[in-house]
Structure 1
């Protein structure tokens, strides 16, 4: 885990997350705007993201960061910054993803104390929302270029998280408390993540319905390659071994949505900004038989167990990735620099057709009736999942899925009206035997 004395240098920026015409990236560089030191309240400090212009030109903060301490957070914390991207729609009048606030509304100031600071709420134009509050050292309004507001369809309404700071003891005329933002559970194929900003309330109680809290959204990029084809029998000889295939589908996950025991949390940001969860599909031969008799014959096989529950549990524990459901919302802390929720697509995890492969991991018995003078091979589609870092190294244990209800067969010679498809059965021995 990182300590206050551990800074993670970022030599080059990660490839930006693209969501429609919005570009999202991250910075670990901050400028202190104001500290509560001398105000009479508990010590806190407020920081503005300051991405290096040569690394992230044109990127803006979405608000300031509130920290319940006064130590330097540069290199210790990470925060989202945004930039206007190229239009992604054919509509000639598509709205820009970002806009300057129209104005600011002061919601608190440290009057009658030994410190002079103020907190402001950006007033967004129609069709846009502000994702965080902005501070000033003094009581003057911040620049309208200090932050950007985001188009409403590019964000998701969120919940109020944990208390960061309140002004008890400051002597200010108006009460104030600062709170983190927690995104809701993500929908299929998306990730919702808090930008690292804070929201506020003019009381010490946790705000609920009247608090405007928002998180950023992104879709999980999915690269899809051609699926493997069921092998074809060309004679009565045993089927040839199948070649090891390439990945069939690959989900690209940002660094903050994956845990990696071999890297510090913010170190992942610089060394492996993206992780690749690759699904490799392959037809596995369960059994084959050649009926040389003059009558139909019953053959039986056993499909071995595929999914090992303990492997899947280990994978989830060390990576935080949930395969069968949404990740539980991960609250920002030392181990999770970004508060987020994520969910893979059902097609990627096979759960759009059947959930049984994630539940039934035991071996199954199979029986098939083969007509006379026929060759039959029974296959089951296996999907192996591998988590790879940006450099191609493996980041976790692999695991395999197979749908217990899904079997395919190839025959020679091919005559559909005479062959009975194989099916799972129970209570049958695995030895080959003639049909009665």
Structure 2
């Protein structure tokens, strides 16, 4: 049996090797096979509906990963083989990524593209900058934590700025509120009014306020939050209370994450962070260190190619308060809601261009029977959000339906067309 398995593995590897060699002779757009992260907070409808699979799904479907991160790389469909995208890029980085992107990003895909669908809140979290990620990865290596260890926070050495573009109504917490708002908020909650004194110290005081609370022993957290949660429960039911929406989210988080007889310390963040309601098409950018939580909704996520998450609460996953505080960015302000920039010469194209070297996002909407040229200077990963797409080039033709994703290597002149109309998202690397 072992010999038979060995022969089967060898034959499979030959198929992959031959497919890579054939692709190297003529790089072309190709369909991707992508997998799903089934985190407990995931929605059972949005991603199955997008992909045309049974809905509601049996398990939560939280994130569709379209990328080459080693935790869940997509496969390139090169008949008769499926080639891991990271392996294809490693074999011919300049041909796939483009010479400039390959040189700038060490011959690796610099971004990770996702569809995120949240039915319940994600953890209170932040992501490291590049130096912090390198240090944290090394520290956890020295502790002997395997990359698959659930107690590990650093899965790679990369930073993780990210863009979120709403596809549905999307609710999120992002960054600390302005100081005057925080002072007024704390005044509304008698158990928390003593915390206001920290704000006299400005941004440094806010950092101390948050760090001091997050380091409290559990009995002290319980004593502070018990009356807050009791009052929030009443406010959440009062249609005239201006804090009703915030309190409803707080109660949902409490009911979902606080252990019996205790209070999750992440609940305080529901009062300290900006509460946002994004409409479809609106976006937010999260720099490294920005404290946040996605509460509910579906969207496109585009980030540096990393899976590093430092969590401080509202989760059953590993919580590392010390690591979170180490990377925390404290910059209290009202966040900017981003809108796409419409191309002057072709209004069918819209672009989200956050301040990140690794990624930008384009969205193309074509009417029935319409077409548009495309000649990417750098690699693109595409996702059909609605309709049906035809991609044609020199000897190339690829058809994708709703939910289909693809690799578009750099360089080739293509034409994108649709007989019925299409909404297409394309993640790429901006020029240097």
TM above 0.5, yes or no, is no
- Normalised-by-shorter TM-score class: under 0.3
Select the structure that is richer in strand.
Answer: 1
Report the TM-score, using the length of structure 2 for normalisation: 0.24
